[in-house]
């Protein structure tokens, strides 16, 4: 769904376009005022409306019943989904080390920027209101009925705010003064201050939207048109006299934006509208087009109010953390028998609106009370759920009470699992966690087991067979890793696949990252094959040279074998040290390779992309360069454009060129202008300072033929442009070197 504030901006923008195209020139000023006010209210209220599902153009999600039975499997699925969210957050951390910034960080900073703007414009709004109120009650005032005429000084235009009229009576003749007062009184009587306050509030929350600022301007203009029209309807006011008054009142200083002011910069438009032909009543049909426009927005973007569905506002993580509090130990139950299951809904007295449930096999009950009130129960290791009530047909209701098994809780405590409350026992009961499961974990080497460990393990069905299969390959794997392993679908076959691809000493965290990023044995093999081919030479002569080197190496080996026995006997301690060093170096190399694979997979680098770089001439390109190329969006076509232009560029230069937006055409422009011996690094500086070949030619034309690009860059940076030099020459500053003009610019202000 579109974020609320952007949705409001979209509606306001559409309304502005509608107003400009159809209504702006109409002389129904009062109706236009209603439209302008209504659209501001609609922009912020329409996104909050939920519409019937049948009217929505959005795709319909799968329905979720309000009182759907929550089986043991359902509870497990909630926990699993919560675990998946945690895993997905965790496994991307190694990738973040390869990035300076990510999308989430950008969005977070944009949110901060938005609220910073809201605070600034909100403060500005309050300051304006305080200044106006201070002036209204600190200056001399004349009470004229419900109007307060506040005398001001200086060359300020008359304006009004609430019931206050601000005017300098010394500036105008009697007739003009009266017309100004009459004009501002109409503003007050029509409560135009409300319009401007509403527009200002819209600006506070839509400060980033240029159409919101344009909207306020249109609102102010319409208020002036409306007031002018109302004033001219008075018998005592003549149009020509009033228009002359407008010209007399014109002043360069305008009041605050919260006021309705007599003189604005739209004076010309006001005069035109006063003399414009009145709109025909038959054009009023245009106004009705706003209704289908708003309906279209609602149907396209608004959230559906689907009956029989519930909001998924609570995250699965919250469900996991609160599951112990969702089903209380006492309350009422409602149940439905379906096939071989009995689906229960549990409601506690503490929460009138909360229904939580579970399903049990019909075989777990000895005797259900059909058409009569009776007692029945379900017993599990953690305790017994005792029910009282009756079933009528396949539906029933009554009271329930959970009785925990004290021996079970005591055994759990002995095993290190502290069940602090009866609600903990309810969770263990619903998931049917057995004492034997804890014993199995202990037998597999897990001694320190907590409640938080057991719940996700049971929910994910991490059984002894799964644990044993993983421990055969990773003997030291901890419980904290078994959860993401099972959640992501990591099994013995996947780990063996990675191992066969050449990774013998992978950690659990690395396996999790590989699985989460979709890196399997095939991808690793493809990666190694393509990097091997990429880093290899395509020159057959090199292969011949390598054969010769191998032959020479064999000869050296033969000679080495003939050395003395003393030299051949190496100290065993030294051997062990060498082996340790070698293993450390191998792990470091593997870690670097792992990071490269993860980064490549995350960026979508495949064989085709690497081969395309090889085809354009980058035979010995490193993994780091490949990753940098992809991150910057460098394609084979981009590299070809330089190659086709006869420009040879190293990988380290091509990344800089792409980042600065340097193209082959930019480089060719310098060659075409006669500049042949430009270093690759120089183009970076030239582009960064926006120096073009035409500009360099202008410097040369001014006589600086011996100047190098460093001098030109210095001149451009300080503002000593060709135009500046021409002006200085015209004033008599004739220097032979460009350095003199750079110094002159640094000392003098042009």
Instruction: Tell me how far CA of residue 127 lies from CA of 23, 164, 332, 519, in angstroms.
Output: 34, 17, 58, 58
Highest mean pLDDT among 69-73, 397-401, 480-484, 522-526: 397-401
- Report, as an integer, the average pLDDT of 721-727: 85
Q: Which residues pair with 403 in a beta bridge?
A: 384
Instruction: Tell me how far CA of residue 156 lies from CA of 351, 363, 443, 467, in angstroms.
Output: 63, 89, 89, 83
Task: Give the span between the Cα atoms of 254 and 16, in whole angstroms.
Answer: 25
Element (H, E) at 549: helix 540-561
Task: Give the span between the Cα atoms of 640 and 652, in whole angstroms.
Answer: 16
Name the least confident of 337-341, 561-565, 678-682.
Answer: 561-565
**Is residue 283 within 8 Å of 27, Cβ to Cβ?**
no
Judge whether residue 119 has pLDDT over 90: yes
User: What DSSP line would sit under 366-408, residue for residue?
Assistant: S---BSS-EEEEEEETTEEEEEEEEEETTEEEEEEEEEE-HHH
Task: Give the span between the Cα atoms of 438 and 453, in whole angstroms.
Answer: 10
Judge whether residue 458 has pLDDT over 50: yes
Decide which of 690 and 464 is more confident: 464
What pLDDT shows up at residue 318? 41
* Maximum C-alpha span of the chain: 128
Task: Give the span between the Cα atoms of 231 and 600, in whole angstroms.
Answer: 72
User: What DSSP line would sit under 435-446, residue for residue?
Assistant: HHHHHHHHHTT-
Q: Dihedral (C-alpha) 697, 703, 705, 711: value to the nearest 10 degrees?
A: -80
What pLDDT shows up at residue 116? 92
Could you tell me which of 348, 316, 312, 342 has the C-alpha nearest to residue 329?
Answer: 348
Residue 79 banded pLDDT, cuts 50, 70, 90: low
CA 627 to chain CA centroid, nearest Å: 24
Element (H, E) at 164: strand 164-167
Could you tell me which of 628, 633, 651 has the C-alpha nearest to residue 100?
Answer: 628
**Is residue 477 within 8 Å of 506, Cβ to Cβ?**
no
User: What DSSP line would sit under 286-302, residue for residue?
Assistant: GGGGHHHHHHHHHHHHS
Name the least confident of 228-232, 525-529, 728-732.
Answer: 525-529
Question: What's the CA angle centered on 616, arms 610 and 622, to 5 degrees?
Answer: 45
Entry pTM: 0.42
What pLDDT shows up at residue 486? 84
Residues 6+ positions from 546 with CB-CB distance below 8 Å:
none
Name the least confident of 37-41, 244-248, 274-278, 605-609.
Answer: 244-248
pLDDT digits (tens, 9 = 90+) for 31-62: 889 999 999 999 898 888 877 766 666 654 44
Per-residue H/E/C for 13-81? HHHHHHHHHHHCCCCCHHHHHHHHHHHHHHHHHHHHCCECHHHCCCCCCCCCCCCCCCCHHHHHHHHHH
Burial label for 168, CB within 10 Å (0-12, 13-18, 19+), is middle
What pLDDT shows up at residue 201? 93
pLDDT digits (tens, 9 = 90+) for 367-394: 888 888 999 998 989 899 899 999 988 8
Residues 6+ positions from 518 with CB-CB distance below 8 Å:
601
Q: How many residues would you count in the chain? A: 750
**Is residue 466 within 8 Å of 86, Cβ to Cβ?**
no
Task: Give the span between the Cα atoms of 14 and 716, in whole angstroms.
Answer: 44
Decide which of 76 and 307 is more confident: 76
Task: Give the span between the Cα atoms of 602 and 613, in whole angstroms.
Answer: 19
pLDDT digits (tens, 9 = 90+) for 137-170: 988 888 888 889 888 887 777 888 888 988 888 8
Decide which of 235 and 43 is more confident: 43
- For 505, the 3-state DSSP assignment is coil
Element (H, E) at 346: strand 341-347
What pLDDT shows up at residue 601? 75
Task: Give the span between the Cα atoms of 229 and 494, in whole angstroms.
Answer: 80
Judge whether residue 710 has pLDDT over 50: yes
**Is residue 16 within 8 Å of 215, Cβ to Cβ?**
yes
Q: For residues 622-632, b (16+ Cβ closer than 10 Å) or e, as one string? A: ebebbbbbbbe
The radius of gyration of the chain from alpha carbons, rounded to an integer in Å, stands at: 40
Ramachandran sector of residue 393 (left: φ over 0; alpha: ψ -120 to 50; beta: rest): left
What pLDDT shows up at residue 98? 45
Residue 325 banded pLDDT, cuts 50, 70, 90: very low
What pLDDT shows up at residue 203? 93
What proportion of the chain, given as a percentage, has pLDDT over 70? 75
Decide which of 588 and 626 is more confident: 626
Question: Phi and psi dihedrals of 389, rounded to 5?
Answer: 160, -160
Highest mean pLDDT among 373-382, 412-421, 479-488, 670-679: 373-382
Question: Phi and psi dihedrals of 577, rounded to 5?
Answer: -65, -40
Question: Phi and psi dihedrals of 673, rounded to 5?
Answer: -85, 0
What pLDDT shows up at residue 2? 61
Judge whether residue 123 has pLDDT over 90: yes
Look over the chain and give the mean of its residue pLDDT values, rounded to a whole number.
Answer: 76
Task: Give the span between the Cα atoms of 80 and 86, in whole angstroms.
Answer: 10
Residue 559 banded pLDDT, cuts 50, 70, 90: low
CA 552 to chain CA centroid, nearest Å: 60
Residue 314 banded pLDDT, cuts 50, 70, 90: very low
**Is residue 256 within 8 Å of 54, Cβ to Cβ?**
no
Q: Dihedral (C-alpha) 11, 14, 16, 22: value to the nearest 10 degrees?
A: -140
Residue 484 banded pLDDT, cuts 50, 70, 90: confident
What proportion of the chain, given as a percentage, has pLDDT over 90? 8
Residue 81 banded pLDDT, cuts 50, 70, 90: low
Token output for 669:
């422009």
What pLDDT shows up at residue 530? 61
Within a 13 Å sphere around the CA of 667, how many CA atoms are in the beta-carbon half? 26
What pLDDT shows up at residue 67? 35
- For 357, the 3-state DSSP assignment is strand
- For 358, the 3-state DSSP assignment is strand
Q: Locate tokens 């460990």: which residue?
A: 453
What pLDDT shows up at residue 265? 56
**Is residue 600 within 8 Å of 627, Cβ to Cβ?**
yes
């Amino acid at each position: 769904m579109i974020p609320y504030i952007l949705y409001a901006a979209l509606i306001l923008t559409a309304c502005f376009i509608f107003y400009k195209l159809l209504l702006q020139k109409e002389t129904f000023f009062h109706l236009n005022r209603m439209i302008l006010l209504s659209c501001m209210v609609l922009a912020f209220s329409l996104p909050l409306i939920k519409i019937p599902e049948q009217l929505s153009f959005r795709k319909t999600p799968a329905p979720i019943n309000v009182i759907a039975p929550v089986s043991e499997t359902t509870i497990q699925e909630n926990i699993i989904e919560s675990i998946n969210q945690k895993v997905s957050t965790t496994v991307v951390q190694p990738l973040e080390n390869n990035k300076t910034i990510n999308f989430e960080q950008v969005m977070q900073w944009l949110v901060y920027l938005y609220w910073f703007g809201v605070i600034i414009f909100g403060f500005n709004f309050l300051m304006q209101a305080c200044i106006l109120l201070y002036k209204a009650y600190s200056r001399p005032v004349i009470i004229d009925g419900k109007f307060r005429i506040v005398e001001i000084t200086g060359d300020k235009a008359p304006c009004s705010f609430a019931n206050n009229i601000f005017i300098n009576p010394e500036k105008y003749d009697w007739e003009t003064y009266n017309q100004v007062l009459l004009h501002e009184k109409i503003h007050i009587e029509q409560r135009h201050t409300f319009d401007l306050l509403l527009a200002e509030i819209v600006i506070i929350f839509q400060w980033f939207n240029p159409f919101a600022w344009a909207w306020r301007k249109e609102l102010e203009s319409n208020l002036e048109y409306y007031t002018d029209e109302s004033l001219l309807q008075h018998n005592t006011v003549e149009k020509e006299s009033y228009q002359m008054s407008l010209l007399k009142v014109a002043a360069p200083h305008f009041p605050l934006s919260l006021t309705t002011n007599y003189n604005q910069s739209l004076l010309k438009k006001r005069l035109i509208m006063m003399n414009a032909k009145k709109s025909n009543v038959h054009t009023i049909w245009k106004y009705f087009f706003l209704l289908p426009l708003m309906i279209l927005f609602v149907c396209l973007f608004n959230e559906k109010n689907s009956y029989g569905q519930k909001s998924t506002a609570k995250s699965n993580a919250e469900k996991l953390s609160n599951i112990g509090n969702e089903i209380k130990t006492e309350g009422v139950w409602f149940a439905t028998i379906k096939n071989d299951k009995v689906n229960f809904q549990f409601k506690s007295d503490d929460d009138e609106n909360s229904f939580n449930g579970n399903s049990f096999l019909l075989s777990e009950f000895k005797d259900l009370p059909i058409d009569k009130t009776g007692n029945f129960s379900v017993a599990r290791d953690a305790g017994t759920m005792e029910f009282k009530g009756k079933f009528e047909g396949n539906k029933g209701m009554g009271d329930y009470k959970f009785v925990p098994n004290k021996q079970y809780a005591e055994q759990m405590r002995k095993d290190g699992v502290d069940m602090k409350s009866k609600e903990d026992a309810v969770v263990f009961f619903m998931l049917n966690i057995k004492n034997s499961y804890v014993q199995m974990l202990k037998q597999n080497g897990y001694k320190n087991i907590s409640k938080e460990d057991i719940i996700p393990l049971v929910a994910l069905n991490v059984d002894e067979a799964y644990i044993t299969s993983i421990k055969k390959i990773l003997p030291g794997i901890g419980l904290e890793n078994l959860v993401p392993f099972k959640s992501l679908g990591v099994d013995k076959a996947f780990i063996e696949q990675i191992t066969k691809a050449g990774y013998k000493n992978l950690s659990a965290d690395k396996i999790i990252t590989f699985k989460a990023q979709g890196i399997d044995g095939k991808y690793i093999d493809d990666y190694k094959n393509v990097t091997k081919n990429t880093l290899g030479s395509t020159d057959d002569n090199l292969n011949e040279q390598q054969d010769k080197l191998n032959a020479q190496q064999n000869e050296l080996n033969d000679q080495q074998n003939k050395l003395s026995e003393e030299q051949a006997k190496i100290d065993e301690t030294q051997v062990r040290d060498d082996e340790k060093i070698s293993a450390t170096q191998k792990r470091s190399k593997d870690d670097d390779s792992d990071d490269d694979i993860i980064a490549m997979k995350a960026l979508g680098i495949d064989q085709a992309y690497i081969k395309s770089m090889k085809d354009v001439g980058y035979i010995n390109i490193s993994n780091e360069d490949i990753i940098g190329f992809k991150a910057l969006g460098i394609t084979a076509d981009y590299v070809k454009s330089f190659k086709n232009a006869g420009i040879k560029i190293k990988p380290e230069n091509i990344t800089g060129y792409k980042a600065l937006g340097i193209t082959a055409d930019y480089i060719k422009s310098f060659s075409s202008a006669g500049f042949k011996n430009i270093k690759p690094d120089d183009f970076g500086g030239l582009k960064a300072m926006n120096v073009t070949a035409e500009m360099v030619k202008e410097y040369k034309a001014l006589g600086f033929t011996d100047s190098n690009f460093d001098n030109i860059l210095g001149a451009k940076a300080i503002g000593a442009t060709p135009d500046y030099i021409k002006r200085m020459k015209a004033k008599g500053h004739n220097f032979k070197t460009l350095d003199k003009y750079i110094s002159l610019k640094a000392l003098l202000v042009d």
